[in-house]
Amino acid sequence: MKTSARKNVLSKWLKTKALLKDPKIRKLVPETRRMNEKTLRSMLNRYAMVYVKPVAGTYGNGVMRVERANGVYTYQTGEKKRTFGSFASLYRSILRHKRKRPYLVQKGIRLLKYKGRRFDIRVMVQRNLQGTWEKTGIIGRVAHPRKIVTNYHSGGKPMEVRTLLKPLVSGNRLARIENRLSRAGYDAAKVLSRTYPGLNMIGADIGLDAHFRPWIIELNTNPDPYIFRHLKDKRIPRKVLRYARALKRIPPAR
C-alpha cells in the first residue's frame, strides 16, 4: 500500500515530521528527536524534564518521564519510579527497559493539573459524510494519580474540559482556551492529512502548560471513538460514532 493511501500511521516520528512542515503548527509541537545517548543528554540538560516514548506504541505503553535535578536522575514508567546518581546509569537502565525498540525523546510539558492529577485534552477530528474535515468532539483525560500518562486504557479518567478548566480560569477566557484547543487539533489534523491523505479520523492529544499555551503532544490516527460516551451531551458521541461507522474506521467497543 502506498504511503499516501494509508489510513493508519503508526510511527510517531513520521507524524511529527509531517507536522513540522507547517510553520504555524510547528510552533505548537514540543521539540522531538530520535532518542540516543546524545539527544537524551542534551535535551535533559536543556529542559530538565523530558518524555521518552516508543516510535510505535499505543495506550501510553512504554512511555517514560525522565528528569534531572541537582545531579540526580529519575525516570518513571507505569507506577514505578527509579533514581540514579549519574546519567550513564540512567541511560543503561532505559536501554534495558526499552529493549531494541526505537524511541523518541520529547521536550517535557508540565501539564496543568486537576485535583493534583495531570490532564491533557483529546480533540477528535473526522471527515464528515461530505468528505471534509470537521472537529467532532473534545474531552479531557485525567491521569491515574500514580501514573504519568493520561490514556483511558492506562487508568486515565475522561472528563468534561470545562470541569477541568473552571478551577483555573473562568468566563470568556475559558471559552477562548477551549476554542484554541479545538483549533489546534483541527489545524494539526489537516496538516497531517496533507502528507497522508488517506486518513479520515484523527485524535489530537494536546497539553496545556502553566501559561495555558497548547502543545500538540501526539496525533493518533486510530483514536478510540467510544471515549466520548463519557460526555454529558450525548449528541457528540452519536456524531463521532456515526462518522466512524460511515467511513468503516471504528474499532470494536470496549
Q: In whole numbers, what is the pLDDT of the chain averaged over residues?
A: 92
Q: pLDDT for 191-200, tens place per residue?
A: 999 999 999 9
Averaged over 127-131, what is the pLDDT? 92
Per-residue pLDDT band for 5 (boundaries 50, 70, 90) equals very low
pLDDT for res 58: 78
Residue 247 confidence (pLDDT) = 80
C-alpha grid cell for residue 53? 516514548
pTM for this predicted structure: 0.92
Average pLDDT over residues 237-244: 95
Residue 188 pLDDT greater than 80, yes or no:
yes
- Nearest Cα residue to 206 out of 184, 189, 187, 190: 184
The average pLDDT across 53-64 equals 87
In this prediction, residues 154-183 reach a mean pLDDT of 94
| Weakest mean pLDDT among 4-8, 90-94, 149-153, 241-245 | 4-8
* Average pLDDT rounded to a whole number, residues 227-252: 88
Q: How sure is the predictor about 57, in pLDDT bands with cuts at 50, 70 and 90?
A: confident
Q: Is residue 32's pLDDT more than 50?
A: yes
Judged against a pLDDT cut of 50, whether residue 128 lies above it is answered with yes
Has residue 1 got a pLDDT over 80? no
pLDDT over 50 at 68, yes or no: yes
Q: Does domain 111-246 have CATH number 3.30.470.20?
A: yes
In the numeric block, which cell numbers belong to residue 164? Answer: 477541568
Query: Would you say residue 22 has pLDDT above 90?
Result: yes
Choose between 42 and 8: higher pLDDT.
42
- Predicted local distance difference test score (pLDDT) of residue 170: 86
Mean pLDDT score, 5-20: 86
Per-residue pLDDT at 65: 97
Structural domain spans, the chain = 32-107, 111-246
What's the pLDDT score for residue 4?
Answer: 40
Predicted local distance difference test score (pLDDT) of residue 152? 83
Using a pLDDT cut of 90, give the percent of the chain over it: 85
Quickly list DSSP for the chain. Answer: --GGG-S----HHHHHHHHTTSHHHHTTSPPEEE--HHHHHHHHHHHSEEEEEESS-STTTT-EEEEEETTEEEEEETTEEEEESSHHHHHHHHHHHHTT--EEEEEPP---EETTEEEEEEEEEEE-TTS-EEEEEEEEEEPPTT-S---GGGT-EEE-HHHHHTTT--HHHHHHHHHHHHHHHHHHHHHHHHH-TT--EEEEEEEE-TT--EEEEEEESS--GGGGGGSS-THHHHHHHHHHHHTT--PPP-
